[in-house]
Chains A and B, each alone.
Chain A
Amino acid sequence: MAVSQLIGASIKRREDPQLITGSGSFVEDMPQTAVAHLYVVRSTQAHARILGIETSRAREASGVLAIWTGKDLQPEFQAPLPVTVSFVAEKKYPSMYPIATDRVRYVGEPIAVVVATSRSAAEDAAERLDIRYQSLPVVLDIERALAADSPVLHDEIGSNISYDVKRSAGDIEAAFREAEVRISQRLVQQRLIPVAVEGRGVLAEYKPFANSLTVWSSTQIPHFVKVWLGVILGIPEGKVRVVAQDVGGGFGSKIRVYPEEVLVALASRRLGRPVKWTEDRNENMKATHHGRSQIWDVEIAARRDGTVLGVRATQYLDLGAYCSQFGTFMAIALLIAQGPYKLKAFDGRGVGVFTNRTPTDAYRGAGRPEATYLIERVMDLVAHEVGLDPVEVRRKNFVPAAEQPFANLFGLTYDSGDYNLTLDKALTMVDYPAFRREQAEARKRGKYLGIGFSTYLEICGLGPSAATTPATGIGLWGMSVVNLHFTGKATVIIGSSPHGQGHETTFAQIVGDALGLPLEDIEVVHGDTAIGPMGMNTYGSRSASVDGAAVHLSAVKVREKARKIAAHLLEAAEADVVYESGKAFVKGAPSKSLTIQEITGAAFQPHRLPPGMEGGMEATTFFDPPNFVWPFGAHVALVEVDGETGATRVVRYVAVDDCGTRLNPMVVEGQVHGGIAQGIGQALYEEAVYDEEGQLKTGTLVDYMVPCAPDLPSFETAATITPSPSNPLGVKGIGEAGTIASTPAVINAIVDALQPFGVKDIDMPATPEKVWRLMHQNGGTTR
């Protein structure tokens, strides 16, 4: 194999010039003539019966083409929106259709659509609808929803409990018998709003006589949307094409088949013309799914020496008003909560609950942030309880490197990793002893510094096909096509569908190394179901390790074919021909060589090929990995708390991540930076808040506080490299690691800073007032 030149190089993202100059191709940029604009009329009530929707006055408004209520459209749906197994086969859930007919269960649920010649005409007409509701009692709180006398959202289920399941391994009773220390703690994962910079958008064009449907959607999952639009609208799958070109962020919020995708397609079919819907920020905040929204009750069994023996944990998961497509995926947390530590037992219980709020689904990390928050807070709680350094407690409990690959309590096998490696590097970067001295000095002056650790381990890289079937209902794998054109230029089709990850650059680097082609000769295409085999889309930090591996394998297949053709043309034995840096030559005689361009030219002239060989230079790979990948790392947050106001500032943030081989370190660091910012957002700033009637109070970006650049420190990043044995590139996912790791690091740091006040925990987001109140709960005196 050629010496790797492109893999590992920090090449600037090729997709950026168009994105940062406004030349991208988002749904809103698609050129369309005669497009009609759809506006979704949404419930203004959190729980109500729809008594009637009077449309006559709205129909008279100028520019209106059609107004349909849920009752008008319901007969056309041949199936409800999809719901996957997502780790809880035992759950009960109602069928959710794209639009409500007689009852609404959250503010923002679609109840009617207005189609008009412009978006403003549609919005104006919608104001003239007369919608009559009969209000029903609302339930907005997980614990209230569980109460026997709670209002019930779904009569057919009979309670608000979707599931109540056990996920236990090891002898938890023995662990608690052996324990010298027992700690109980409630940990709350507040409800978050994903806030992708580009909201969702859908443009649909239905051709009546062909019965064909093309949908452009701002989605992470064009291949799944294609399947389900066909099923729901009764169109053969081969007649449906879904395209996701540039997509302005997802963070999991574009991972499901959404009501609007169905509604816009249906409107186009009914009107016989293209129809478009663009989500505005108001809609985005309440109509696009939310994340987290969980309560965890935790009991810890530990020894005085810091050994954590076992954990009992109940995860109350707020599903919102319905069960979303991957709504119960977050129950994965129960299977992986032990993290990088050797626990003897984990006794988990998962309870899924319906409330009158926006449905929840995957949000960056999806279950791994919750699991990591749990175990990283556990490590600190134990350290404080037994009076040991949180670093020492972690080291004591780490799975030793010598025991890798290591099967966790639930039989999931960690692929590789030396967890002390990243921790050691992080400690050096922060100069831990110096920080502890500075902290002690500062406390004397009434200044409160804190340090927080998060030595996370996460699971990603979905596939493997068999193991992911319980997660998704279908197996996941990677797909690629590498196709060389007559002139030797490459087109690479990938099964993942990036929305900010940089695949057009990193996947070209993979092919460039395998075939010795320059980057400018390699095009990476994605997100169009008409141009290649079915792909499995982008989510769960999967792309590099499965689709990237598939790209590598296809390129290797092409290289092997090139070598065979070259041997034939050079009249040499196949075994004597080597391929290096874009050329094939006879071993020891590099002057007699053929370039990949010459070989590809020959591949399209069958008479020049070895007997029996088919023409063309194309290879397809469906890569089913043998295992998941398990990236890990050590994140350290240093915070300063204002003793008078409670204001908390992250003054330094050090992240050492091990994601195996780094295809492009600059892209890796970009992912880490964004992830950390989002995780700090949960720790310090963000929370979706509802009033007692179920109206979202944080419905704008003034109230829902996403942190901005001036609110964050410059992140200090570093890496160790432990290649994964799960794929030929040795890569592990990195798209979510920053978010998974950073939230507990920041909270651990705040609790550390507040040690003089006897503080053991703080609910997120750690707002200045919450911190101030904790400092003053004992009259403001320090211990």
Chain B
Amino acid sequence: MIPAAFDYVAPRSLPEATAELVKHGEEAKVLAGGHSLIPLMRLRLSTPSFLVDIGRIRDLSYIKEVDGYVAFGPLTTHHEIEFSDVVKRKLPMLASAAHQIGDPQVRNRGTIGGAAAHADPNGDYPSCLLALDATFVAVSPRGNRTIAAKDFFVDTFTSALEPDEILQEVRVPVVEGSVGTYLKFSRRSQDWAIVAVGVQLHLKGHNVDRVAVALTAMGSTPLRATAVEQALLGKAGHEEEIRAASEKAADGTSPPQDLNASPDYRRHLATVLTRRALEQVTGHH
């Protein structure tokens, strides 16, 4: 369990880092917290010949409130997000998800930028960022560009980032006064989700005017349960409405078969977890 040989550089700025990526092309990988990449390298399932460690670049770890969204530096750890008052108040779904990633060691090292760029459909952040309509700022020697979440998660372990791009910031829009949670179903507390469902919802008067439902581990990419969201919009969020909407949680999904669960079971869990999450945030549980 020793990685194959590789070269390593720890640049001090993003321009230096992207220049290294340009120089080494497909052979290079960006190293952030290392909690996805290093296990793969130790198993020699990933054998990059060049690592660009962005961990020494200053000012890539922050949580800022700007004009209607919360901006995250890519090196912001799960722990920082889990305990951020801003995130807890403004993005309750994301705070709840961060709290349930791995164990404290993982949360102290893993980063939001690394987790997003890894684009694991079983990861806890990607589905949340998708459902919350996050945008991703990518930087390269060619300049900056902004990618919407719906375009960012392309396929399993594949994001829209080009080989010369580094994720510079993650921006998540805020709907003031939202309630939210993330329910994760796993066999052991520290495991990957068998299925997880995030919900965040906002009431205008007595009716739901904004709702996001995130589905983790329900397909080859992170997903959102648009049918549930549609069914709830404009409703008061009564128990029967929640129940009916939750039945649609697995609509259009193709959940995987693995050692822990069959697709049928995952579909069932998605509906149960969606209902429970909605009941919890609306006080019906």
Q: Which residues of A contact B (CB under 8 A)?
A: 119-120, 123-124, 127, 280-282, 644-645, 647, 685, 689, 697-698, 700, 702-703, 705, 707-708, 710-711, 767-769, 772-773
Contact = CB atoms under 8 A, between A and B. Distances in A.
A710 B190 contact: yes
Given A710-B190, A769-B261, A769-B265, A282 B43 contact: yes
Contact of A685 (B2, B188, B268): B188
Interface residues of B, number: 22
A120 B2 contact: yes
A98 to B, nearest CB: 22
B62 interface: no
Q: 10 closest Cβ contacts across the A-B interface?
A: A710-B189, A280-B1, A120-B2, A769-B265, A644-B272, A711-B188, A123-B2, A769-B261, A282-B1, A711-B189
A282 B43 CA distance: 8
10 contacts: A120-B2, A124-B5, A280-B1, A645-B269, A685-B188, A697-B259, A700-B43, A702-B192, A767-B260, A768-B194
A222 B194 CA distance: 43
B187 A767 contact: yes
B215 to A, nearest CB: 16
Contact of A698 (B5, B190, B259): B259
Given A698-B259, A710-B188, 15 more contacts: A123-B2, A127-B4, A127-B44, A281-B1, A689-B259, A707-B188, A708-B189, A708-B190, A711-B189, A767-B187, A767-B260, A768-B194, A768-B261, A768-B265, A769-B260
A285 to B, nearest CB: 11
Nearest to A773: B265
A703 B259 contact: yes
Nearest to B1: A280
Interface string B185-205: 101111110100000000000
Nearest to A39: B2
Interface string B261-276: 1100100110010000
Contacts of A697: 259
A217 B239 CA distance: 63
Contacts of A768: 185, 187, 194, 261, 265
Contact of B191 (A119, A124, A281, A702): A702
Given A703-B259, A705-B191, A708-B190, A772 B265 contact: yes
A645 B269 CA distance: 7
B241 to A, nearest CB: 19
Give the interface SS of chain B, mostly helix, strand, loop or mixed: loop
Interface string B1-12: 110110000000
Nearest to A120: B2
Nearest to B4: A124
B187 A685 contact: yes
B40 to A, nearest CB: 11
Nearest to A776: B268
A647 B1 CA distance: 34
B249 to A, nearest CB: 13
B259 to A, nearest CB: 6
A269 B268 CA distance: 61
Contacts of B262: 769
Contacts of B192: 702
Contact of B188 (A124, A698, A700, A705): A705
Contacts of B265: 768-769, 772-773
A413 B274 CA distance: 58
Interface string B225-261: 0000000000000000000000000000000000111
A710 B265 CA distance: 24
Contacts of A123: 2
Contacts of A127: 4, 44
A703 B188 CA distance: 11
B51 to A, nearest CB: 16
A772 B185 CA distance: 14
Contacts of A773: 265
Interface centre among A123, A280, A705, A769 (most CB of B within 10 A): A769
B188 A647 contact: no
Contact of A705 (B5, B187, B261, B268): B187
A281 B2 CA distance: 11
Contacts of B191: 702, 705
B57 to A, nearest CB: 28
Interface string B22-45: 000000000000000000000110
A498 B58 CA distance: 50
Contact of B185 (A280, A647, A698, A702): A647
B181 to A, nearest CB: 17
Contacts of B188: 685, 705, 707-708, 710-711
A50 B5 CA distance: 29
A711 B191 CA distance: 11
B2 A119 contact: yes
A292 to B, nearest CB: 18
Nearest to B271: A644
Contacts of B269: 645
B251 to A, nearest CB: 19
A772 B5 contact: no
A127 B5 CA distance: 12
Contacts of A710: 188-190
Contacts of B44: 127
A697 B191 CA distance: 16
A281 B194 CA distance: 24
Contacts of A282: 1, 43
A200 to B, nearest CB: 14
A689 B260 CA distance: 11
Nearest to A768: B187
A645 B185 contact: yes
Interface centre among A124, A127, A710, A768 (most CB of B within 10 A): A768
A291 B189 CA distance: 25
Contacts of A703: 259
A645 B276 CA distance: 12
A632 B119 CA distance: 52
Contacts of A707: 188
A708 B186 CA distance: 13
Contacts of B5: 120, 124
Contacts of A702: 191-192
A685 B190 CA distance: 13
Contacts of B261: 768-769
A376 to B, nearest CB: 24
A707 B260 CA distance: 15
A282 B3 CA distance: 13
B267 to A, nearest CB: 12
B43 to A, nearest CB: 7
A124 B269 CA distance: 44
Nearest to A711: B188
A645 B187 contact: no
A743 B92 CA distance: 39
A711 B272 CA distance: 22
A645 B272 contact: yes
Contact of A772 (B43, B187, B259, B268): B268
A661 to B, nearest CB: 37
A349 to B, nearest CB: 32
A286 B158 CA distance: 31
A120 B42 CA distance: 11
A279 B191 CA distance: 25
Interface in B121-148: none
A709 to B, nearest CB: 9
A710 B187 CA distance: 11
A647 B184 CA distance: 12
A119 B265 CA distance: 44
B256 to A, nearest CB: 13
Contacts of A767: 187, 260
B37 to A, nearest CB: 15
A703 B261 CA distance: 12
Contacts of B194: 768
A711 B194 CA distance: 16
Contacts of A700: 43
Nearest to A642: B272
